[in-house]
């Protein structure tokens, strides 16, 4: 599979999306949500659970945008 410079750049941008999605989930959990889970207050725990669900949704969405871009670029490269 021969890649043009534009396709090569698309792969790099897609990998950035995937890495950003993973970092959102991991760092968000480690530095934000885990602190809220450590409080014995039910409000803080509930807010932490909501925030964790939101971070997972946003991180997964960003990672899937990257995966879709990789697949689209690979299919376009193979079709030429």
With beta carbons less than 8 A apart as the criterion, state whether 21 and 63 touch: yes
Its pTM stands at 0.81
Domain count, the chain: 1
Question: What domain range includes position 9?
Answer: 5-79
Angle in degrees, CA 10, 22, 77, rounded to 5: 20
- Separation CA 49–CA 28 (nearest Å): 12
Output the tens digit of pLDDT for each of the chain's 80 residues. 677 788 888 888 999 999 999 999 999 999 999 999 998 999 999 999 999 999 999 999 999 999 999 999 888 888 87
DSSP string, 19-71: HHHHHHHHHHIIIIIHHHHTS--HHHHHHHHHHHHHHHHHHHHHHHHHHHHHH
């Amino acid at each position: 599979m021969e890649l043009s410079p534009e396709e090569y750049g698309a792969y790099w941008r897609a990998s950035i999306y995937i890495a950003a999605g993973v970092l959102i989930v991991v760092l968000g959990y480690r530095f934000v949500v885990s602190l809220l889970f450590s409080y014995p207050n039910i409000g803080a725990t509930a807010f932490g659970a909501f925030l964790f669900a939101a971070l997972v949704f946003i991180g997964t969405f960003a990672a899937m945008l990257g995966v879709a871009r990789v697949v689209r670029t690979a299919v376009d490269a193979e079709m030429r």
